[in-house]
Structures are given as C-alpha cells and as structure tokens.
Structure 1
Amino acid sequence: MVEQVLEVENLCKTYIQGKIPVTALHDVTFTVSQGELVAIMGPSGSGKSTLMALVGCLEKPTSGKVVIRGIDVTSVLDSELPRIRREMIGFVFQHYNLLPALSALGNVELAMRFSGITKKERLKRAEDLLQRLGLEKRLHHRPNELSGGEQQRVSIARAIANDPSIILADEPTGEVDSTTRDKIVKIFEELRVQGQTIIIVTHDPEVAKHCDRVIHIMDGTLSH
C-alpha cells in the first residue's frame, strides 16, 4: 500500500484586514502519496501561496489540519516548528534565496548545520548532491557567479540535503528560460523516480504536464 505522506483536511485560513475578515482558503482537503509529483495551479490571489505556507509550517490555519507522515503539524508547539521544517520539508523558491556570502557548497552545507552530523560529513554530502546535479565545477562559486539555472540547482540540492518527507517548490522555474526550465523539471522527475514527494506551485502548463496530477485552486477552494 502506498504511504500517504501528506494529508490536508478541511483547511481554512482567514486573515483580518482592518476589521474585515478575508478568507484565503476554505475547506481544502487533499492527500499526496509517497513519490508523487503534484502541481498546484491557480490564478494570482487564488490561495496557492497561503496553502504552501500552511503545508510548509510557515503559518498556522484558522481551522483544519496538515498531517505529514502521521504527525499533525498544525497542533505542535511553535517551538517545534523549526525542527519540523528542517527535518521534514525542503523548500525551493522562485528567487532561489541563497546566501550571497556563501559558495554553492556552503549554502548546501548550511542546511545540514543542525542535523547532528559532523562538518566533514556535511561537506561531503553537499559536494555529492551538487555533483549529482551537474555542479561539480561550481562548488566554490558564490550565487552572483552562477546562472539562474545553476542557482536553482543549488537550491534543489539544499532542499534535499536533509532527506525531507516533502519538497515544496514555489514557482521554481519562474525566473529561468524554457531550456533551463526543462532541465529543472527533469531533475524533479528524477527525484520522484527515487521516491521523493514533490509539490510544485506553478503557472506554467509545460511544468504541470510532467506532474502526476494537478490540483487546481480558485478563490481559496479546490476546483475540479
């Protein structure tokens, strides 16, 4: 039986703007299985970013819950959330979010800083991951010395460094050309084959067509 890595149940999020409640998500329910590559699509303002923030434990819902590998992450103490994010979730961002003062190797190694392994082991794993993503000649380059596609590959290496349960990729191809986009999508497909669970927020139908399925969101609810 395929394991359910992610269970989102009746998820709602309401913000207060002035004195007016604004519902960003309403009664969202879905599951994601081990090794699935899932796209989330919808127009701007549809609730995609809010959904990713809730699944990524960056915000807490107004009601409902998010369960990752059997752990209800919406009910844990706030003090536990950094550990959950570090150990269970890998983030890939549209704008890469690499530290400019660190090399590619340093950015990936930093993600493992609190993983309980030695610096020597962290550097070895970071180097192995970057080589795996075709960056063996860019290990010691800083972000401003890398192309957009190379920076995104560093970001992907950083995301998988701690062997997370889920990778959340927010518009990961939004800043690159179509050739680089296709290379990045191929990396995600290869990770899926290896058993990695990946959720991609995207506006690009060319990205979505490579996913196992697409979750459409409109006005804060799932549309079918």
Structure 2
Amino acid sequence: VLKNFSDINQNILVKQGNKLNTMSTMKNIIGEAQIEESFEREFGIYDLNEFLGVMSLGKDPDLLFEDDSFVKVKSGNSTTKYFFSDPSILVTTPESFTPPETDCTFRISQEELTAVHKACAVLQLPDVVIRNDNGNAVIVATDLKNTTSHEHRIELNPIDFDANFHFKIDNLKMISGGYDMSVASDKNVSRWTHQTKQIEYWIALEATSGQ
C-alpha cells in the first residue's frame, strides 16, 4: 500500500490507528486503506520512497518508536535512525473530507484495467473514457484532443443510464485489482473501491466529462 501511495504523493502523514490515506499534490486523487498494523502515534514522512528504501535495507525490519522526532528501523544487527517531517509542510488529506453521494456504478475487473493501462502505454494514449454505448458500458483508451486518435475499447456490463466520464490515465494509479467504480456526477468525482481489499480512491473527472 505504501509503495502505491508513493506514486500518488511522496509525502504521507501516518495517523494513529490502522488507516492510511494520501492526497496528490494536485488534490485530484485521494487514497485510503485499512491495514493490519496499527500505529500508536502520528508521524510525517516527507519522502516516502526514501523511507521505503530504508525499510528495504534489512530483512523483516522492526519499527521502534522511542522518540517523538524519529523512528528506529532495526533489522538483525543494523539500525537506521530516520527523522520525521513537520506535518505542516506535507500535502495531506483534509480532516473535513466528506465523501459525496454517488449516483451510478460500474464493475471493472483487474484484467480490464490492466488491458487499458497496457493499451495506453503501447499506443501512447493519455485519456480513458467510460461511456454508454448503445446500452453497454465501455471503457476506451484514446486521445480526446486528436480526432484521428487510435482507440482501444473494452465492453463492460449493460447499463441503463447516461455515462460519458473522462480520466487521464496518469491519474488511475490504483493498486492492482478489480474495482467497483461509482460517480458523483454533480461533484465531478469518481470513487474506486477495491473488490477484495479494504482500499479505495477518489479520483477527479476531467472537465470534458459529459461532452
């Protein structure tokens, strides 16, 4: 989970308890996960990739919270003292975030999401569209600014509501898996809930959605 969150934002504020959350610097992606471990105190990490690198220096390291300003990462006979960051300089999820009500839902498998990411990479396409095509939901890899763009489409499930939702592929940074995706049309935001893990993301729709 931490590795995935580092792709969204290099900062993280780990709060007391067993939930982790992150928000991109552009504030258009929020991720939240419930984990098995529980943290006894709040601490901030400025460079999450660096911290994960420290964790990889040894095998099955233990985190020792003996001070409010740093953590000791201990593995075997080696120990790294890693200092926390001031929370005030980190980009973090707002305390007052209230998830909006969603009004339509799609079910997308891991294989379908993987195929869309691969198509965007192979064809160098920046956009993903989920729309209603004659009563069926389809997910399409495309370039919305190019009328002669290559296109790769995958049929999903039948739907009975209007849909034309646009995303940047670079914003679909979810951890691998299948997702139930729902949309709050009036807020221009989507909710991606993992089908087997306790993790979800809120990802902003592009302004061209619905056009």
Higher strand share: 2
* TM-score of the aligned structures, taking structure 2 as reference length: 0.19
> More relative contact order in 1 or in 2 (CA 8 Å, sep 6+)?
1
Higher helix share: 1
